[in-house]
Amino acid sequence: MAIPGIAANAYATTARLGTPGAGLSKTIGDLAGGKPGDFGAMLRDAVQDVAAAGHKADVNSHALANGKANIVDVVTAVAETETAIASLVSVRDKVIQAYEEIMRMTI
């Protein structure tokens, strides 16, 4: 059963991820370093951001196990990681879908 306060914090974190300058949100231009066509670097940066979010969640989980962290911080870090992973998987699915569509095109 979800506690309303935890759910509200998770929703607030998710909303914060969508605002410029917060968390993992970056525009395509920011991820590519302003260089058009640098898609590989953009993906590499996005994966590194997801890995950093996962590491933050792990650190907070270990701190909670040692009694040195707040449960709300841990839940927030885990929610951020879940959102980042879901976004990355969605982008991966769209890339695969686009590749499959290109492969179906006749020349």
More confident residue, 47 or 30: 47
Rounded percentage of the chain residues whose pLDDT exceeds 90: 36
First to last CA, the chain: 55
Distance of alpha carbon 26 from alpha carbon 53, whole angstroms: 14
| Amino acid identity, position 29 | G
Distance of alpha carbon 1 from alpha carbon 38, whole angstroms: 44
Among candidate residues 35, 12, 32, the one with its CA nearest the CA of residue 22: 12
pTM: 0.59
55-102 pLDDT, tens digit each: 999 999 999 999 888 899 899 999 999 999 999 899 889 989 999 999
Give the domain ranges of the chain: 4-11+28-104
